[in-house]
Structure 1
Amino acid sequence: MIRSLLAILGPAYRREVGIYAVWLLAYGVLQGIAVTLLVPLLSSLLASEMQAVGFWLIALFSVVVIACVARYQQTVKGAALAILVLKTLHNRLGEHLSQLPLGWFNPEKVGRVSRSATGGTLMVTNIFAHLLPPVVSGVVTPLTVGVAMLWFDWRLGLTALLFVPLIYIGHRWSAQWIGAMETEVDAAGARASSRVVEFARNQAVLRSFGKNVSSYPPLEEAIAGQSRAAGSMLRQTFPRLFAGGFTVQLAFAAVTVVGIWLTLHQQLPPIELVALLALAARFTGPLAELAGRSGLLRMAGNDLRRLAAILFEQPLPQPSKPQSFTEQIGLVEFSNVNFSYEPGQPVLKDLSFRASPGTTTAIVGASGSGKTTITRLLLRFFDTDQGQVKVGGVDVRQLRTEDLMRQVSIVMQDVYLFSDTLEANIRLSCPEASQEELERVAKLAGVDEIIERLPQGWQTQVGEGGAALSGGERQRVSIARALLKAAPIVVLDEATAALDPRNEKYLNSSLRQLQQGSTLIVIAHQLSTVMNADQIIVLDAGTVAEIGNHRELLSQQGLYAHFWHQRSRATGWQLVETDTEVSL
Structure 2
Amino acid sequence: MIRMLLRVLGHDGARPMRRTVALMTATAMAEGLSYALLVPVLRALFGSEPGAALPWLVAFGAAVAAYAVLRYISDLSGFRVGTVLLRGMYHRLGDHLARLPIGWYDAGRVGEVSILAGRGLLQAMSVAAHLLAPFISACVTPLTIVAVMIAFNGRLGLAALAAVPVVAAVQIWTGRSIAATDAERHERDKEAGGRVIEYLQAQPVLRAGGRTAERFRLLDDALSELQRSSRRLTLSVLPGVVGLTLVVQVMFTVLLVLGAYLALGGNIGAAELLTILVLAARCADPLLSLADIGGKLRSARAELDRLDTVLRTEPLPEPREPVRPDRHDLEFASAGFRHGDRTVIDGVSLSVPEGRRLAVVGPSGSGKSTLLQLLARFYDVDAGAVRVGGVDVRAIDTETLMARIAIVFQDVYLFEGTIEENVRLGRPDADDADVRAAATAARLDEVIERLPGGWAANVGEGGALLSGGERQRVSIARALLKNAPIVLLDEVTSALDPANEAAVHEGIERLMAGRTVVMVAHRMRTVRRADHIVFLDGGRIVEEGTHDELLRRDGRYADFWSLSAPARPGLA
Counterpart in 2 of 1:535? 532
Kindly provide the amino acid, as one letter, of the partner of residue 188 in structure 1.
R
Kindly provide the amino acid, as one letter, of the partner of residue 174 in structure 2.
S
Give secondary structure in 2 for the equivalent of 1:325: coil
Counterpart in 2 of 1:286? 286
Counterpart CA distance in 2 for 1:43 and 1:505 is 95
**Contact 1:179–1:295 at 8 Å: present in 2 too?**
no
Mapping for residues 375-390 of structure 1, pairs under 5 Å = 375-390=372-387
Kindly provide the amino acid, as one letter, of the partner of residue 377 in structure 1.
L
Match of 2:496 among 476, 484, 499: 499
Counterpart CA distance in 2 for 1:456 and 1:61 is 64
| Superposed displacement of residue 136, structure 1 | 1.0
Give secondary structure in 2 for the equivalent of 1:499: coil
Give secondary structure in 2 for the equivalent of 1:544: strand
| Superposed displacement of residue 92, structure 1 | 4.3
Kindly provide the amino acid, as one letter, of the partner of residue 134 in structure 1.
P
Kindly provide the amino acid, as one letter, of the partner of residue 333 in structure 1.
E
Residues 1:474 and 2:471 aligned together: yes
Mapping for residues 172-251 of structure 1, pairs under 5 Å = 172-177=172-177, 181-212=181-212, 214-251=214-251
Mapping for residues 345-364 of structure 1, pairs under 5 Å = 345-364=342-361
| Superposed displacement of residue 166, structure 1 | 1.7
Q: 1:553 to 1:300 in 2, by over 3 A?
A: same
Residues 1:453 and 2:450 aligned together: yes
Counterpart in 1 of 2:337? 339
CA offsets 1:524-565 (integer angstroms, 9 cap, x no match): 111333344322223232233333233444455554345445
Give secondary structure in 1 for the equivalent of 2:296: helix
Kindly provide the amino acid, as one letter, of the partner of residue 148 in structure 1.
V
CA offsets 1:63-88 (integer angstroms, 9 cap, x no match): 43433332232223223223434554
Q: 1:278 to 1:539 in 2, by over 3 A?
A: same
**Contact 1:175–1:298 at 8 Å: present in 2 too?**
yes
**Contact 1:332–1:356 at 8 Å: present in 2 too?**
yes
**Contact 1:178–1:295 at 8 Å: present in 2 too?**
no
Counterpart in 1 of 2:132? 132
**Contact 1:149–1:157 at 8 Å: present in 2 too?**
yes
Counterpart in 1 of 2:408? 411
Kindly provide the amino acid, as one letter, of the partner of residue 488 in structure 1.
P
Kindly provide the amino acid, as one letter, of the partner of residue 457 in structure 2.
T
**Contact 1:178–1:299 at 8 Å: present in 2 too?**
no
Counterpart CA distance in 2 for 1:154 and 1:338 is 74
Which structure 2 residue ranges, 5 or more long, are not aligned? none
Q: 1:436 to 1:236 in 2, by over 3 A?
A: closer
Match of 1:488 among 474, 485, 488: 485
Residues 1:520 and 2:528 aligned together: no
Q: 1:237 to 1:212 in 2, by over 3 A?
A: farther
Residues 1:252 and 2:231 aligned together: no
Counterpart CA distance in 2 for 1:376 and 1:353 is 16
* Structure 1 residue ranges, 4+ long, deviating more than 6 angstroms after superposition: 569-572
Kindly provide the amino acid, as one letter, of the partner of residue 501 in structure 1.
P
| Segment of structure 1 superposing worse, 425-434 or 374-383 | 425-434
Counterpart CA distance in 2 for 1:538 and 1:478 is 27
Give secondary structure in 2 for the equivalent of 1:191: helix
**Contact 2:335–2:348 at 8 Å: present in 1 too?**
yes
Mapping for residues 535-554 of structure 1, pairs under 5 Å = 535-554=532-551
Counterpart CA distance in 2 for 1:255 and 1:113 is 51
**Contact 1:213–1:220 at 8 Å: present in 2 too?**
no
| Segment of structure 1 superposing worse, 232-241 or 261-270 | 261-270
Counterpart CA distance in 2 for 1:433 and 1:130 is 43
Counterpart in 2 of 1:421? 418
Q: 1:250 to 1:336 in 2, by over 3 A?
A: farther
Counterpart CA distance in 2 for 1:51 and 1:445 is 90
| Superposed displacement of residue 568, structure 1 | 5.4
Kindly provide the amino acid, as one letter, of the partner of residue 464 in structure 2.
A
Kindly provide the amino acid, as one letter, of the partner of residue 478 in structure 2.
R
Counterpart CA distance in 2 for 1:51 and 1:452 is 88
Counterpart in 2 of 1:167? 167
| Superposed displacement of residue 46, structure 1 | 3.3
Mapping for residues 59-208 of structure 1, pairs under 5 Å = 60-85=60-85, 88-101=88-101, 104=104, 108-109=108-109, 111-124=111-124, 126-177=126-177, 181-208=181-208
| Superposed displacement of residue 413, structure 1 | 0.8
CA offsets 1:167-198 (integer angstroms, 9 cap, x no match): 11212333455565455445434433433333
Counterpart in 2 of 1:576? none
Counterpart in 2 of 1:2? 2
Give secondary structure in 1 for the equivalent of 2:417: coil
Give secondary structure in 2 for the equivalent of 1:517: coil
Q: 1:407 to 1:144 in 2, by over 3 A?
A: same
Q: 1:239 to 1:362 in 2, by over 3 A?
A: same
CA offsets 1:400-423 (integer angstroms, 9 cap, x no match): 222212221111111122333334
| Segment of structure 1 superposing worse, 172-181 or 397-406 | 172-181
Residues 1:463 and 2:454 aligned together: no
**Contact 1:213–1:219 at 8 Å: present in 2 too?**
no
Give secondary structure in 1 for the equivalent of 2:536: strand
Counterpart in 1 of 2:27? 27
Q: 1:11 to 1:498 in 2, by over 3 A?
A: same
Q: 1:265 to 1:497 in 2, by over 3 A?
A: same
Kindly provide the amino acid, as one letter, of the partner of residue 497 in structure 2.
D
**Contact 1:496–1:507 at 8 Å: present in 2 too?**
yes
**Contact 1:117–1:307 at 8 Å: present in 2 too?**
no
**Contact 1:179–1:299 at 8 Å: present in 2 too?**
no
**Contact 1:412–1:494 at 8 Å: present in 2 too?**
yes
Which structure 1 residue ranges, 5 or more long, are not aligned? 573-584
**Contact 2:79–2:130 at 8 Å: present in 1 too?**
no
Q: 1:238 to 1:504 in 2, by over 3 A?
A: same
Give secondary structure in 2 for the equivalent of 1:322: coil
Counterpart in 2 of 1:396? 393
- Count, aligned residues: 569
CA offsets 1:29-82 (integer angstroms, 9 cap, x no match): 222223334345434543425586456546544543433332232223223223
| Superposed displacement of residue 296, structure 1 | 1.6
RMSD (Å) for aligned C-alpha atoms: 3.3
Q: 1:390 to 1:126 in 2, by over 3 A?
A: closer
| Superposed displacement of residue 379, structure 1 | 0.6
Counterpart CA distance in 2 for 1:260 and 1:299 is 42
**Contact 1:489–1:519 at 8 Å: present in 2 too?**
yes
Counterpart in 1 of 2:299? 299
**Contact 1:7–1:311 at 8 Å: present in 2 too?**
no
| Superposed displacement of residue 293, structure 1 | 1.7
**Contact 2:487–2:512 at 8 Å: present in 1 too?**
no
Kindly provide the amino acid, as one letter, of the partner of residue 419 in structure 1.
E
CA offsets 1:78-109 (integer angstroms, 9 cap, x no match): 23223434554444444554555555555654
| Segment of structure 1 superposing worse, 495-504 or 52-61 | 52-61
Give secondary structure in 2 for the equivalent of 1:127: helix
CA offsets 1:273-305 (integer angstroms, 9 cap, x no match): 443233333333321122232112222333444
Q: 1:244 to 1:505 in 2, by over 3 A?
A: same
| Segment of structure 1 superposing worse, 316-325 or 184-193 | 184-193
| Superposed displacement of residue 312, structure 1 | 4.5
Counterpart CA distance in 2 for 1:14 and 1:187 is 29
